[in-house]
Amino acid sequence: MEENRQLLEIASKTAAFAYAPYSGFKVGAAVLTDDGMVFTGCNVENAAYGSSMCAERTAVFKAVSEAKTNLKKIAVAREDIGETVYPCGACLQVLSEFMYDGTVIISKNGEPVEIKLKDMLPYNFELKK
């Protein structure tokens, strides 16, 4: 449980770096790899909303760009760690590519809550070759 709290705190601190001039909705994420590395991300908005990027995907893409594709957990938080925030559908789909057996850590009244990604996205899209 201490690991979950640490990840949640890292995500919350990372939310402070978000660029969210349009929505004011700052989010941070911290993803843990199977070898113990942590990659962070924050949301980055753009006037052309479709060009914006969520915190979760930013963290995952940073990990992947460093050759880390075995992800274990991801924590998602606002600057106010007591506020609950969940990954959007696009983020859940990206997470399912790298950690379908992993967990998402969210905050409920400032306390970490662990949810299996499979429970959040039971029918993920898979491209069959």
For residue 52, what are the β-bridge partners?
none
DSSP 118: H
Q: Report the greatest alpha carbon distance in the chain.
A: 43
Spatial separation of the C-alpha atoms in residues 3 and 49, rounded to whole Å:
34
| Six token digits for residue 5 | 């709290």
56 is catalytic: yes
**Region for 11 from its dihedrals, namely left if φ exceeds 0, alpha if ψ lies in -120 to 50, beta otherwise:** alpha
Instruction: Name the active-site residue from 2, 56, 79, 111.
Output: 56
Chain-centroid distance, C-alpha 107: 12
Spatial separation of the C-alpha atoms in residues 124 and 10, rounded to whole Å:
27
**Residues with catalytic function:** 56
